[in-house]
Amino acid sequence: MSRPPELFPLFAGLETLEGVGEKTAAAMAGLGVERPKDLLFLLPHSGVDRARKASVREVVPPCVVTVEVEVGAHFPPRVKGKPYRVMVRDAALEFTLVFFHARGDFLQRLLPTGQRRLISGRVELFDGIAQMVHPDHVLRPEEAGELPAFEPVYPLTAGVTQKVVAKAVAGALARAPDLPEWIDGPLLAREGWPSWRDALLAVHGPKGAAEIAPTHPARQRLAYDELLAHQLTLALARATLRKQKGLPTVGDGRLRAKVIESLPYALTGAQARAVGEIAADMEGPFRMNRLLQGDVGAGKTLVAFLALLVAVEAGGQGVMMAPTEILARQHFAGLEPLAAAAGVRLELLTGRDKGAERAAKLRDLAEGRIAVLVGTHAVFQRDVEFRDLRLAVVDEQHRFGVAQRMELGAKGAATDTLVMTATPIPRSLALATYGDMDVSVLDEKPPGRKPIRTALVSTARIDEVVGHLAKAVAEGRQAYWVCPLVEESEVLDYASAEARFQHLRAALGDVVGMVHGQMPPAEKDAAMARFVAGETKVLVATTVIEVGVNVPNASIMVIERAETFGLAQLHQLRGRVGRGAAESTCLLMYQAPLSEGGERRLKVLRDTEDGFRIAEEDLAMRGAGDLIGTAQSGLPRFRVADLERQGALMAIAQSDARRLLADDPTLTGSRGKAARMLLWLLDQDRAIRLIGVG
């Protein structure tokens, strides 16, 4: 599918714009600008009021002022290095223009004595006398129309000035054609948004500060365009996945009923709803691609197992994959009683299985004697074959990208996929990252989970904390002690953990164990196993333990230098306690004085255990990129859209994109063709390839 000819001028080289040479073009790459169309989306971040005043007397310096003046005498510096001064007079006041390192002949031409000029720049008082250092603009009265009353201010990079950017943007705007409308008519009317070209003209020619705000209709419209293009790409990816026929998997409910009867409590409403959504997807003719998003302790594992039983009831098999061996073993241990209640065979396959034992498991798997397999990515290996794999459950999305989702799908002819994540993500981000998936949310805690008491303690009181710990250990309780993150270096993390381990060992004796990132996996597993068995009472750890570890007897969590962790991470760590019958405590130790942000983070955590509220707060404080760690988030880089302030538009964009594709799967109708233009403009090459394929 080739690029539409009306967009050619916008995709030409930057040097084709007036005032842009090779050097400037190279420098603009620092702003992410490589072609004229990129300038259209380089939006001003603020503006300067250049409205005309009769005299500097009308303003309160320091501030920017624009006045017409008569140029008076020039005073070149007598000593090298001193400034050059030019006296000027407006309607009511005489003041000085000051220039450093300026050439006299240039200033004589710019400001000839006796003539009138329009000048604009920042006026300051110096010893009570007004002066303007290096005016931004000096124009002849007949050129005054060139100066806008409100001048947009663009982001800059080395080697590029405001004037150069403004001129290049004007050139790019002149090339922006009137394009057919890709936004749904009723939505456009309801929001009162301008057309694409009018929106561009408005954001680049603001009349005042209000037009630079993210809430201005022109900005909202351009943000929506960007979110719509992104969601169209995800929706196309989803439609392509859905074209892959699934196997309708219909369970009769008998195994699920056995498990639910064996539980000491009823399913929460959210769990029952999620199981229903998953079962309905599995019955359908398309491959399921669903995300199960639940807060710490919301009971995701049970929902996932009930989903696996749907596959078994239908005569198929299921697999549950975890990112690490520790987690795979833990899932296995947690699922064993459920599998026993259902009367189905559950097996574990990890990298440790060798020889005859492994061969026997693989044989049973291929012949369908194993109903549910739990494992690490070892289940991907060539020799692992299922008789009839219907459902793959994948734990912890972040370590498992779209590519692996596809690879796993290839294992079974038409395997349904359910991805579990324990990271509550604000809705706008969930849509940005997992827009190609359908989402089930577990937002209730199962009965019996006790609230965790969270307290803030300064590091100065560490001896008191160790004293409390000694008492708790004597009563048979277990605790985690999480060491601070040291400057992204595992070696230093290890050193800080080692020092804390020695300190606690001296205070508490040999009931203290340790795990950290530098340990060989087998040692790490052994240290965890000793803690799970209760042989060690206190586990000193770097953040290795944040994902999924389950030790019901552990009821104390100490997090050292808590202010160095992100909110989501602290929430995950705290979720490691509060799983058993005992009252649990989480101590957030901080080093005083706390920064304002650090204090706000720790207080949010102290005041709520709701992961979704914590995630929204985190987004507001840190911004989208940091929240999921841009490196591994796969989160798109939006140029106009601001997910913190315009997140609500994302949900509209998703339903709009899905509806458009449902009505016009090949994007060949009138709105579909307009949408193709949008995809070209916003570099959604992936989407364009998918339409090409479709």
With contact defined as beta carbons under 8 Å apart, do 560 and 483 qualify?
Answer: yes
Tell me the average pLDDT across 467-483.
Answer: 91
Biggest CA–CA distance in the chain, Å, is 101
| CATH fold of 254-442 | Rossmann fold (3.40.50)
pLDDT, tens digit, for every residue of 72-115? 999 998 888 889 999 999 988 989 999 988 888 899 999 999 99
More confident residue, 425 or 154: 154
The 3-state secondary structure of 245-264, one letter per residue: ECCCCCCCCHHHHHHHHHCC
What was the pLDDT predicted at 484? 78
- DSSP annotation of 640: S
Phi/psi at 478 (5° precision): -120, 155
Poorest-pLDDT segment among 219-223, 249-253, 260-264, 630-634:
630-634
Q: Are 86 and 135 in contact (CB under 8 A)?
A: no
Is residue 58 classed as helix, strand or coil in its secondary structure? helix
d(CA 625, CA 623): 6
Write the DSSP string, 494-518.
Answer: HHHHHHHHHHHHHHH-TTEEEE-TT
Tokens of 146: 């060139």
Which among 328, 363, 371, 231 has a CA at the least distance from the CA of 679? 231
Choose among 676, 666, 621, 624: nearest CA to 647. Answer: 624
Query: Is pLDDT at 166 greater than 80 in this prediction?
Result: yes
Choice between 417 and 241, residue whose per-residue pLDDT is larger = 417
Burial class (CB in 10 A: 0-12, 13-18, 19+), 414: middle
Question: What torsion, rounded to 10 degrees, do the Cα atoms 66, 69, 71, 77 define?
Answer: -40
β-strands 317-321, 372-375: how paired? parallel
What homologous superfamily is domain 51-147 in, according to CATH?
A: Nucleic acid-binding proteins (2.40.50.140)
Lowest mean pLDDT among 225-234, 392-401, 412-421, 638-647: 392-401
Distance from chain centroid for Cα 398? 11
Measure the CA–CA gap between 408 and 621, rounded to whole angstroms: 36
Phi, psi angles (nearest 5°) of residue 422? -95, 10
**21-62 pLDDT tens trace:** 888 898 898 888 989 999 999 999 888 888 888 888 888 888
User: Per-residue pLDDT tens for 499-539?
Assistant: 889 999 999 988 999 887 777 877 887 888 888 888 999 99
Q: In what order do the strands lie in the sheet with 538-541?
A: 452-458, 584-590, 554-559, 478-482, 538-541, 512-515
73-82, 275-284, 295-304: lowest mean pLDDT where? 295-304
pLDDT for residue 404:
54
Q: How confident is the model at residue 313 (pLDDT cuts 50, 70, 90)?
A: very high
Please state the domain extents for the chain: 5-46+156-213, 51-147, 254-442, 452-608
For CA atoms 405, 411, 416, 417, give the dihedral sign: negative
Sign of CA dihedral 506, 507, 509, 515: negative
Average pLDDT over residues 538-554: 72
Q: Which residues pair with 557 in a beta bridge?
A: 480, 586
Average confidence score pLDDT of the chain:
83
Say if CB 162 and CB 176 are below 8 A apart. Answer: no
Q: Which of 351, 346, 350, 322 is nearest to 335 (CA)?
A: 346
Strands of 112-255 (E only): list them: 116-126, 129-133, 137-139, 150-153
The string over 197-218, giving b where at least 16 C-beta atoms fall within 10 Å of a residue's C-beta and e elsewhere, is: eebbebbbbbeeeebbeeebeb
Closest CA to 247 of 409, 117, 359, 87: 409
The b/e string for 322-336 (b: 16+ C-beta within 10 A; e otherwise) is bbbbbbbbbbbeebe
d(CA 277, CA 292): 10
Q: Is the pLDDT of residue 403 over 70?
A: no
Asked if 224 and 215 count as a contact pair (C-beta separation under 8 A), the reply is no
Does 274 have pLDDT greater than 70? yes
Q: Is the pLDDT of residue 351 over 90?
A: no
User: Average pLDDT for residues 665-678, to the nearest whole number?
Assistant: 90
Compute CA 630 distance to the chain's CA centroid, rounded to the nearest angstrom.
6
CB 341 within 8 A of CB 254: no
pLDDT at 258: 94
Whether 629 has a pLDDT exceeding 50, the answer reads: no
Residue 436 has pLDDT above 70, yes or no: no
Residue 247 and residue 168: Cα distance in Å, rounded? 55
- What span, in angstroms and rounded, lies between the C-alpha atoms of 591 and 573? 19
Is the pLDDT at 445 greater than 80, yes or no? no
CATH class entry, domain 452-608: alpha beta
Query: By CB neighbour count within 10 A (0-12 exposed, 13-18 middle, 19+ buried), where does 691 fall?
Result: buried
Do 452-608 and 254-442 fall under one CATH topology? Answer: yes
- Encoded amino acid at 68, one letter: E
Per-residue pLDDT, 626: 41
Side chain identity, residue 304: A
Closest CA to 260 of 314, 341, 193: 341
- pLDDT of 70 reads 92
Nearest to 303 by CA among 286, 281, 279: 279
How many Å from the N-terminal Cα to the C-terminal Cα in the chain? 11
Q: How far apart are CA 655 and CA 364, in angstroms?
A: 44
The set of residues, in sequence order, having a beta carbon less than 8 Å from that of 71 and lying 6+ positions away, is 86, 87, 88, 111, 112, 113, 114, 115, 116, 117
Q: What is the mean pLDDT of residues 246-253?
A: 85
Q: Per mean pLDDT, which range of 148-152, 307-311, 519-523, 591-595 is the poorest?
A: 519-523
pLDDT value for 610: 75
Higher pLDDT, 25 or 572: 25
Give the model's pLDDT for residue 399: 52
Q: What is the mean pLDDT of residues 640-663?
A: 83
Nearest Cα neighbor of 598 from 572, 633, 634, 559 is 559
At 667, give phi and psi (nearest 5°).
50, 55
CB distance 493 to 485 below 8 Å: yes
pLDDT score recorded for residue 650: 84
